Amino acid sequence: MTTVVAQGTFDILHPGHVHYLSDAAAMGDRLHVIVARSQNVTHKPEPILPGRQRRAMVDALAVVDEAHLGHPDDIFVPIERIDPDIIVLGYDQHHDEDGLRRALRSRGIDCEIRRASAREPEDDELCSTGRIVDRIVERRC
C-alpha cells in the first residue's frame, strides 16, 4: 500500500485545492492531508478560518482518507507518525524541494517528493484563496 501525504493551509476551499488533493490521491492508495496551523503560516496572510474548521473541510472531501492538523512546533512530527511513501507538494507551493529532502533524510524519513500538476481555472472560477478574499472585499465592502 502506497501512503501519500499532501499538506497546505486550505483556507477557503476552492477548485485548485480539490485538484491538488485529487492529483495527490491518484499517486497512491491512501491520502493523508496535513492542514497547517494558523501560527505556522508565515509565507502569506493569516488564514481566515480556524485550523479545526479547515481540517474538517478537507477531511470531508472524498479523495482524502484522513486529515490531520499540523503540529504547533514541528512540521515533521505528523510526517514521522504517518510515515509516507510519497509527499506531494502543490505545483505552486513555496517549498525548497532539496531542503525538504535534506530535512527528511536528517530525521530518518525515507520518501519520495513529487509536485502536483497545475490546474487552469475555467471561465471565471477562482483557484486562489487570496483572489476569493479580494473578490469578497470588492463586492461586499
3 is in an annotated binding site: no
71 is in an annotated binding site: no
17 is in an annotated binding site: yes
For 16, residues 6+ apart whose C-beta sits below 8 A from its C-beta are 119, 121, 127, 128
Q: Which of 126, 125, 132 is nearest to 45 (CA)?
A: 132
9 is in an annotated binding site: yes
Cell digits of residue 123 = 471561465
32 is in an annotated binding site: no
16 is in an annotated binding site: yes
94 is in an annotated binding site: no
Q: Which residues are annotated as a binding site?
A: 9-10, 14-17, 92
Q: Which residues are annotated as a binding site for ATP?
A: 9-10, 14-17, 92
